[in-house]
Amino acid sequence: MKAIAYLGGLFGLIVTPADAAETLCKQQEQVIFSCSLSKKTVSVCASKDFSVSNGYLQYRFGQKGNIELNLPAVPQSTPNAQFVRARTLMFSGGGGGYLRFINGPYHYIVYTAIGKGWGPKDGVAVEKSGRLIANYECRDIPVSEIGEALITRAGLAIDQSEFEIPGIE
């Protein structure tokens, strides 16, 4: 009987479409990352054909029907190195990765990670001129494709700046 209760508990951890994170991506796009930040949503969307030589990648922040920030402003097939960098992270008992979207002195860093002793951390950090000015943690289980496979497939430039996930020591 204990085994049945245990299995039932495990199935409760599986994310179903009703539990899935809200997204600002369109139906014809790939969801690279998306989660709710309370009243707002952060999403990273890509065209279905996104690769080293095709498609686009775009950061979006706001609400469905009222997107406050798009980076780049218009989805376009431009060299990604102009506006996005990426990196994977290694931690004791886990790992993670992030995408850094660049808009002048402002950087929007979408991150996902898990580590021994502190558990999962997902969200978006905002930096201005290299200083952290805001951090918004996900309120739900994010949809995330951030990792080595995405970085390689998309040919994203490796971020040379240091980024530490806020809230871990």
Q: What is the largest CA-CA distance in the chain?
A: 59
Residue 153 pLDDT: 87
Averaged pLDDT, 48-56 = 87
97, 91, 115: which is closest to 159 by C-alpha?
97
Question: pLDDT tens, 124-163?
Answer: 999 999 999 999 999 999 999 999 999 998 889 999 988 9
Q: Which residue did the predictor score with more confidence, 64 or 77?
A: 64
pLDDT bin (cut points 50, 70, 90) of residue 1 is: very low
The reported pLDDT for the residue numbered 79 is 55
Please determine, for residue 27, whether its predicted confidence score (pLDDT) is greater than 60: yes
How far is Cα 147 from Cα 88, in angstroms, rounded to an integer? 6
Cα(28)–Cα(87) distance, rounded to whole angstroms?
26
Predicted confidence (pLDDT) at residue 100 exceeds the cutoff of 90: yes
Q: pTM for this one?
A: 0.84
Pick 6 or 133 by higher pLDDT. Answer: 133
Average predicted confidence (pLDDT) for the chain: 84
Among 38, 151, 52, which residue's Cα sits nearest to residue 100? 151
Q: What is the pLDDT of residue 19?
A: 47
Identify the pLDDT of residue 51.
86
* Domain boundaries of the chain, sorted by first residue: 22-158
The one-character DSSP state at 81 is G
